[in-house]
Structure formats: C-alpha cells, structure tokens
C-alpha cells in the first residue's frame, strides 16, 4: 500500500514539475508612417507556473522587436482576489539602426477572467531633427 501511494505521489509531482505555462503572441504588427509590417507569431514558454522567457517578435529591415515575458502570481493572506491573480509583465525592447528603446507593460488577470489581452506601444526614435514614430501591436493569450 505504501509503495502504491509513493509511486502515485512521485508520478504526480513529476507531472506537475514538468507542466508549462505559455503566453502565445499573435497578430504582431509594426506601423511606421502608415506602412504596416507583420511580425511572427511566437510563444513564451515557462516551466511550471512562474518564470520568464525571451523571444523575438519582429526582425526586418534593421528594425528588431524583442520581448521579455515574466509570469508570476501573488500570495496574499489578506485578499482572496489578489491571491488568485496572475501577472504578466512584458519588457518590449526595440532596436532600430543602432538606437534602442524599451517599454514595460504589466497586465493582471484576476480569478477566472479570460486571460487574453491586446498590447499597443508607441516608440519615438529621435536622431537630430529626424523623428521616427513606430507603433508595435500584438495580441496575447495566457494558457
């Protein structure tokens, strides 16, 4: 009996330890001066329920957009709403012709709320009197 229970606990803990959390990114677009370019669909994979992953969403014509996705939960003894929350933090890095810029955006999903969101960030790259305004948009789903 003890062997059966031990085997069951070992199998269950192995299954839980290898579970992955994914944040799927789709519909990546980069817009500059009305010209829309499409990026690639990518997935940030985290072993277990918390962690981070880095990925490249767009890399064309000297313009590169990377993201660092961090997924974590919050333990709160005082609030059951916060205790059930999942936080997704994106640090979006843009590099264009040697110039760099970044934005950090956090989305919070509570309880059984649908874990789907839309990101839209505007970057302004300035070189002397020349200014480039580049908008990055994408959809994300946490699984």
What are the domain boundaries of the chain? Answer: 20-142
Q: Token pair of 99, please?
A: 């110039």
How much is the pLDDT for 128? 87
How much is the pLDDT for 16? 47
126 touches 100 (CB < 8 A): no
How much is the pLDDT for 112? 78
CA dist., res. 43 & res. 119, Å (int): 15
How much is the pLDDT for 32? 94
How much is the pLDDT for 81? 62
Q: Tens place of pLDDT for every residue, the chain, 143 residues?
A: 555 444 444 444 444 445 578 889 999 999 999 999 999 999 988 887 788 889 999 999 899 999 998 988 876 666 666 667 888 898 999 999 888 999 999 998 887 778 899 999 999 988 889 899 999 999 999 88
The alpha helices in 21-143, defined as continuous H runs, are 80-83
* 3-class DSSP state of 113: coil
131 touches 125 (CB < 8 A): yes
How much is the pLDDT for 13? 46
- Note the pTM of the prediction, 2 decimals: 0.75
Q: Is the dihedral of CA 16, 18, 19, 23 positive or negative?
A: positive
How much is the pLDDT for 91? 92
């Amino acid at each position: 009996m003890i062997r059966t229970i031990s085997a069951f606990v070992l199998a269950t803990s192995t299954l839980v330890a290898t579970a992955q959390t994914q944040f799927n990114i789709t519909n990546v677009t980069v817009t500059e001066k009305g010209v829309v370019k499409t990026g690639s669909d990518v997935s940030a994979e985290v072993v277990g329920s918390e962690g981070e992953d880095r990925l490249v969403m767009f890399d064309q014509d000297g313009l590169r957009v990377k993201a660092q996705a961090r997924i974590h939960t919050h333990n709160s003894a005082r609030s059951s709403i916060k205790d059930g929350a999942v936080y997704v933090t994106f640090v979006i890095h843009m590099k264009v012709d040697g110039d760099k810029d970044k934005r950090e955006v956090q989305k919070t999903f509570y309880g059984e709320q649908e874990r789907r969101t839309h990101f839209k960030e505007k970057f302004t790259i300035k070189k002397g009197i020349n200014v480039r305004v580049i908008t990055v948009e994408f959809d994300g789903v946490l699984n």
